[in-house]
Structures are given as structure tokens and as C-alpha cells.
Amino acid sequence: MNTSGPVDQGLRLFPFRGLRYVPERVGSLAAVTSPPYDVVVRPDGLHHLESADPHNIVRLILPQADTARDRHRQAAATLDRWLAEGVIAPDPDPVLYVYEQRNDEILQRGLIGALALSPAAEGIVLPHEDVMDDVVADRAELMRTTGAHLEPLLLTYRGETGAPAGAAAVIERTVLREPLLATTTEDGFRHRLWAVTDPSERSEIASDLARHQALIADGHHRWATYLRLQREQTAPGPWDHGLVLLVDTARHPLQVRAIHRLLRGLPVSRALEALTGLFRVRPVEGPLPRALDALADAAAGGNAFLLAGDGGFHLVDRPDPALLARTVRTDRPDAWRSLDATVLHSALLDDVWRIPDAPEHIGYIHDTAAAVEQAERLDSTAVLMHPVREEVVRDLARQGVTMPRKSTSFGPKPATGLVMRSLALD
């Protein structure tokens, strides 16, 4: 995304005293980390993380109790206890952090800090997806009760190509130093974290970022939560900033993956029957990677989905133009109207299948195999999606047009638990 255009103020990233696990007090740093809260596949993934280490961060971001109020109170009590016991401790001084994720194929580096909040209308931080009010309300109550930002959002901006300069130059120099921490998580990613303490380097970063705007890659609900909590305040303070990871995609392009839908209580047979005369439906051969290749081929020519849950795979494409004309709103750009997620929600979920977009009816699952497994186990339907191209996301965000919620999954996502932010320390 070329984000060096006209921006009133640009990005303002501030140092903070990060909360971090004390390595000597936990089994390992890898064992206490987690994917972002909405990526954890529940309940199997949740139980796996809880059993990995008694201090795993999932006990803070996804606490378990009978009521929402009890869950949030439990998270706050757990955080307070871990701080009192020295399991987690604040860094001595406010810093910016350089964060690196690496595996055999991917290298991603960025800056973690407290970003000044701004509404989308200011054009500094651009959302590209709608959000669900109930999720924002839940995250807001968790943040209020804990007084903490427990996991950084993933934001992207596009710096200059060529020799490293500005923030990129500071990052390149910083990674030559000894890191604050290094660990390898079970997904094979190696993580390293450094502190940027030099005032001149922080000034170099600030001058560079002030010329840019950012796209929210992952964390729309948490960004909306930041803004909601800021509006509740009557005076300037720590709620005016939010914990983020900023990645320059000119140097470290992100991967864009699809987020799949689990339609609870809708067997595949009923889902397919309702599509008669409205879409072309064809069985495709497995295993899953082969079926996904068929989906990719079909998606190159228009809207396409892969349905699973009955032990087989069914390719759904070529929607009836009359159906689209009747169900897809016309006051949006063509690029939005032709999105798979738009067609899925407007035509299929709302009109053909008549499924409310509520957690008890629709699950959003990042992992393809997990979506299929859950659909088969629950006699339900998994709708497997093809990823949206990144340039489509950028173009719509520039126009101020948000995509249907859970349309994209950018990555790699930062590991949760390596650094947190306590609002009481700011």
C-alpha cells in the first residue's frame, strides 16, 4: 500500500514499559505464548495451550468461567497474581521494540509500540473489514477489567524501497545486537525481541512514520475496542494509545489467507439442495489440498466456494446473475460487490440459507483442516474460501469501503505473550 500520500499527522508510535514473562519463572517462553485470541481453535486448541504451561497467556486472553463478567474478573485476578509472583514483570524503562519472526520461508520484522489512536475518517489507520458488536463489547470489558492490552494488533505500512532508511534502517541496525528474548514456537517460527532505547534512533523512527498511514492487517475488533474505550474517557491518558506491531510491507510482504465459515446445524445435503438452480455445484476429488487447488482454479474465473462436512468436497461457483442483482447492494464499488465474502453473506447466508450471522450459527475458522474436521464432527457445513488479493484489500481501504467481517487473514501474526502493555504504567 503506498501510504506516503497526504496524511494530516501520520503514524505516531510511542515507547512504553512492556510487560514480559520472566524466563526463569516459566517452563519456556514458547510454552506461554499463544496465537491471537480469535485464531485459537476452540476447544481443542484452548485445552492444548492451557496444558502447555500453567502460565500460558491464553488464561488471560480467553479466560474460562460461567459468565462473561466472571471471565473478565478471572483474567484480571490472574494477571495481578502473576505480577505479584514475579511471573510477569514490567521492563524498567519505556522503549520501542523490534520484533522478528522467521521460519525457513518467511522473515518478518517490525516495530511494537503504543500507537496514537485515530478514527478511520482521519485516514491515518485504515480498517478494511466490518466488526461484530458483541466481540468488541467482550474485548472492551476484558481490557477495562485487566487494565491492559494483552496482544498487539498487526498493522502494515509501505516504506521506501532501496537502501534502508528511517525506521527500516533502525530495525536493520537493531537486529545485529543481542536480543531481549529468543524462542521457537511449535509452529516452527523463531521469535526475537529487541529494545530501542537510543533517543536519536527513536526520533529517526518517529520522523519516518509521521509520513505514513497504515492498514489494519489483523485486529479490527481490537482496534474498534481501543477507539470505544478512548471515547469513554474524559481526559487524555493511556487509553489514547493502543498496542500494535507495525510492519513495512515494502520490505516484508505479508501473506493473505482466507477465513473459513462453519455453518452450525446445516448439513451439507441441505446446503446443496438449496443451491439448485442458483449456483453450479460439482463434486471434486480429495484429499483437501487437491480440492483446494480446484477451488483456486474456479476462483480465477469468478465467485467460488468449497463445501465440506459430509466426507466429500463440493465446488460451488457460477452464481445466477439474477440472484446477485437481487441480493447484493448496489451502492458499493464493483470490487466490493464481486468479493466472495460479499456474495457469501449477501446471497447465500442472508438469502438462500437464511442463517443469522451470530456465533451460535456461524463459526469463523482460520485453519482449513480444522474447519473440515469440525463440520464433519458436527454434521454441519464448512464453507472454504479462496484468499482475497492484497491489492484489492488496499484499494477498497483507500476508498473507505470495508469488506465483510472476517474476509482476510494476514500473517504471520505476532505471537501473543511476548510483550504486553499495562495502562497503569503509562
- Cα gap 4→111, rounded to integer Å: 18
Rg of the chain taking only CA atoms, in angstroms: 22
Phi-psi region of 166 (alpha: psi -120 to 50; beta: other; left: phi over 0): left
Top-confidence residue, 149 or 426: 149
Kindly indicate the confidence band of residue 42, based on its pLDDT and cuts at 50, 70 and 90: low
Position 35 scores a pLDDT of 87
- Cα gap 331→353, rounded to integer Å: 24
Q: Which amino acid is at 287?
A: P
DSSP assignment of 235-246: S-SGGGEEEEEE
Kindly indicate the confidence band of residue 3, based on its pLDDT and cuts at 50, 70 and 90: very low
SS3 for 125-190 is EECCECCCHHHHHHHHHHHHHHCEECCCEEEEECCCCCCCCCHHHHHHHHCCCCCCEEEECCCCCE
Q: In this model, does residue 223 exceed pLDDT 60?
A: yes
Position 41 scores a pLDDT of 56
Encode pLDDT of 112-167 as tens digits: 999 999 998 898 999 988 888 999 999 999 999 999 999 999 999 988 888 888 99
Task: Detail the DSSP E strand segments found in 352-419.
Answer: 362-365, 381-384, 409-411
Cis peptide preceding 15, ω within 30 of 0: no
The DSSP secondary-structure symbol of 16 reads B
